[in-house]
Each structure stands twice: as structure tokens, then as C-alpha cells.
Amino acid sequence: MDSAFLYILGIMCIYTIIPTFVVRLFGVGVYKRGTAGRGIALTFDDGPDPQYTPLLLDMLRRKQIRATFFVLGSKAERYPELIRRMHEEGHLVGVHNYVHWANALMTPKKVRAQLDYSVQVIERIIGERPIYYRPPWGIINLFDFLLLKQFRMILWSIIVGDWRSSGGKHKIKRRLLSRLKDGAVILLHDSGETFGANEDAPTYMLEALDEFIGEALSRGYDFLRIDERMSLDQRTELVKMSLRKRAIVSLWFRWDRIIYAALRIQPIDPGNPLFYYRVCTYHGEAMELTDGEQLRKGDRILELHFNNQRLFAMAAGSRSMVHLAVQMIHSVKEMLPQINEKVCDESPQQEIKAVYGITMIHRGADQLGFTLKSLPKGWFAIATKIYLRTLLRIIHPEGKSRARSKPEALTPKMLAISVRELNKRYPAGGSVVDSVPVQPAFPLRSVLAESPK
């Protein structure tokens, strides 16, 4: 007997107790309260009721307030005119099962059947498919998490026991006002026919609600439908993300300036600071360039750096990642004669052998005369990849999705062109000789501020 009881208890824990505990306590997969602004949401369960729902709708219309109704499919079938009125007067209609049974007492198939049929009933009445769902008593089973693909599950942050008549309107109003907070989702009932409820309980709810609405409005609260409440949260989150992004970008640019100052990195053209450079010693593996020149450890190089602030501005004005890529590669092409001029200015003292950088360009660079080589495996390759992918996510709205969808494509490589080839193709003060169109393979092309050690 004891073992059977423990077995049943274990099954119930897995099937309903733990899932309900998780959503009620931690809000996993459900919406319980707004996070932005003072707007609060009135929600009503268990209706429609032929006696009380019309009175409630009359009150909401007088006060010009829109609410959310989680209706039972069986009652929607019996009182379609009330469902239609809810919709026509601007309220949101959601689902509260076909009958008021807890999901813990039904199989997943039964829950799905109740919901699907209720959705069909409501859709036939108002012409829209409801997607907001509140399980009766806020109790779910383990398989209800699968419903999140089709529904937005809504719980509450304020519940006041308005299904009982004891205490009358004063109890309900007192509890509503004492628990009222920004973003509250309030659960009330416009029917007293549910198991455990008093039939006349909605009378006191309506009286309390009438006074509560006036008090809440005087305190500066707005009343929103659930979809409006959630939309406000989403918009606010986007603004916060934008603010965070601007802060990150600002810090990133400050860090760039610190690095540039520390490494004495200067603009190629102070009047058009698109590229920066420094002359340094190459520390990487031997690299055979396109024209047969050998770049070896210890050779002097002019190391290129793309101005990330200009890159961010270009990204903000680009239509897409591909558009950004085209802009960047043409910028490189147009700047190469000036880069060669800078090499000529520096080379008599430095004996520069090549122009070098690290980039995410995998195609097209060879048409400009550059040689590409993979970074040798090690900590530097890992750090470079992290740096460039982070930069990709920061500078462009599509960067995050691009980094996720094609991570294998976003592999930084070493890029180099010998001074001899640079002189041949891009004479200082001249025009670009090679006019072959370049087709970029990937959206972000950026140069890192270090050569491999």
C-alpha cells in the first residue's frame, strides 16, 4: 500500500506538481506580470456568464477600458453573442479550456482536444484564432509545455479570492489596492458557477472593481489588454537592448583609442580615417605571397586596421550584410593607392616587405592581389575569432543571426600583399589598375589590431 502510494505520488510529482511549481514560482514559459511602465491588465476567467458578463462589459465600456477574457469553450458555444460583443468592443478573447477541469486531471490528448475545440468555437464567432491561454487554477501538466508552440500561456500577479462572497466588495477592493504594482496582471471572475465558487460572488467583484478602477486611474495607472501589456514589455526591452548596445559600442570605441595610442597606430589619411596602420615586425609562420615573395618571421610589415567607428556607421546605413560587405571591399580597393603611398613614406627607414592584416574576407581578396592563409591553430586564432565574431554581432543588426547560421564561414584569415605587387597594381598617387569586380563571400570584413605571435 505504501509503495503504491509513493509510486502514484512520484508520478503526480513528475506529471503535474513539479511543472506547476516551476511555472508558478519561476514563471518558466508563462507571462505573469509586466516589466515596463505602469500599465496593468484586467483579466477575467470562467465566463461568459449571461447575468454578470453583460454588466461587466457595460462597466468597461463606460470607463473606456479594455480587458482580457479567458472564456470556457462550452460557454462560448452557449452564449456566442457575448463573445462577439467582447470582440467588437475591443477586448481580447483567450481560452480557458472547454470546461473548467484542471489539466492535472486530464491526459495530454484530452487537454489538446479541449483546447483545439474551444479555439474552433471562438474562431467561428469572432473570425480570429485565439492564441492566449490560461489553464484552470493555473495548474498544468508536464506536456503542457508543448502548448507553448501554439499559445501564449498567461497566469497572474494578483489574485484576491473574488470567487467567494464572504467579505463582500470591501475584501476584494482592499486586496486589489494593497497588492497593486506596476505591470500587474489581475485575475478576477465574471462567473460564479465554477466548483468552489459562490453563485453571487461576481456581484461583489463588480462593485469592488467599479471603485478600484477609479482609484487606480487616480494613481496614474493605465489599463491594457494582455497583448498590449506584453507588447509594451517587448518594445521597452528593445529600447533597453539598444541602449545597452550603444553603451557597448561606446566602450568598444574607447578601447580602440586606448589600443591605438598604446601601439602608436595612426590613420592612413587623417582627412578620411577609414584605415589605420602601424609598422611592426612580422611574427607569424612563413608565408609565400602571390608574386613569389616570401614573408618570413622578422620581416617588417605595414599592418592595417579598419576603423571600427567608421565600420559601425557604414553598417547603420547599409541595407543588408551583403550591402555592407560590398561597401567595405570597395573601400579597401579605393584606398590601396594611398596605402602604397604610406608604404613609400615609411619604407626607406623601415624596409617594409608587405602590407598585412587579419580579415574575414574569404573570396575576392585574391583579385586585389592579396594572399590569404589560415591562422595557425592556437590561442591567437581562438582569440581572433572571438574578437571578430563579437564585432560582427555589435556593428550590424544581422550580425547575431549571421554568426549563428554560418559560424564555420566566419573564420578569420591572414591577408598580405608584397610591396612589389602593391607598387605594380596600385602605384602611389595613381588609380587602381586592377578593375576586376570583387564578389564578397561573407558580410563582415574587419581587421584585427595584432599580428600573430
Nearest to 281 by CA among 377, 350, 381, 375: 350
C-alpha angle 442/380/244, rounded to 5°? 60
The active-site residue, picked from 45, 144, 233, 299, is: 45
Rounded CA separation 21/18 (Å): 5
Query: Tens digits of per-residue pLDDT, 173-204?
Result: 999 999 999 999 999 999 999 989 999 999 99
Q: Look at residue 65 and give its three-state secondary structure.
A: coil
Non-local CB neighbours of 290 within 8 Å, separated by 6+ positions:
366, 369, 370, 371, 417, 418, 421
The active-site residue, picked from 91, 189, 305, 396, is: 189
Percent of the chain with pLDDT over 70: 82
Packed helices 379-395 and 308-317: angle between N→C axes, nearest 10 degrees: 40
Rounded CA separation 17/25 (Å): 12
| Dihedral over Cα of 427, 432, 436, 437: its sign | positive
434 is catalytic: no
Highest mean pLDDT among 222-231, 264-273, 435-444: 222-231
Q: Which residue has the higher pLDDT, 271 or 210?
A: 210
pLDDT of residue 275: 86
Name the strand (E) or helix (H) holding 154: strand 152-154
Q: Which string of DSSP letters, residue by residue, matches 321-380? A: HHHHHHHHHHHHHHHHHHHHHHHHHHHHHH-EEEEEEEE---SSGGGGT-EEEEPPSSHH
Q: Work out the average pLDDT over 12-33.
A: 91
Cell numbers representing residue 138 in the block:
493555473
Q: Which residue has the higher pLDDT, 297 or 330?
A: 297
Q: Which residue has the higher pLDDT, 399 or 259?
A: 259
Report which residue type is found at 375. L
100 is catalytic: no
Nearest to 281 by CA among 267, 295, 293, 266: 295
Q: Which domains are delineated in the chain? A: 2-234 (3.20.20.370), 264-425 (3.40.630)
